Amino acid sequence: MADEIIRELWRVKDEIARKFNYDLDALVAHLRNESARSGRVVVDRRAAHRAAEQGTAEGAMEADRR
């Protein structure tokens, strides 16, 4: 079962890569454009994680709001 899932994931990955001629920059540009077009808010948890590591709870909460 797991092998089937992995094979399917690789098949889809290869299909997407082929669609963009294996050009990572083109793929990233497409994904960013689709993200912006969707109107959904993307939450960057990296800033909250950094703030939490530094022990600043206010910074972590502020980062979550972005």
pLDDT in tens, 4-60: 999 999 999 999 999 999 999 999 999 889 888 998 887 788 888 888 888 865 554
| Residue 38 · residue 46 · CB < 8 Å | no
Domain that holds residue 51: 2-65
Task: Name the domain count of the chain.
Answer: 1
Rounded-to-integer distance, Cα 58 and Cα 66, Å: 13
**41 in helix, strand or coil?**
coil
Q: What's the pLDDT score for residue 63? A: 52
- The confidence score (pLDDT) of residue 10 equals 95
**pTM to 2 decimal places:** 0.50
Which pLDDT does position 22 carry in this prediction?
Answer: 95
Give the pLDDT score at 61: 55
How far, rounded to the nearest angstrom, does the alpha carbon of residue 48 sit from its chain's CA centroid? 16
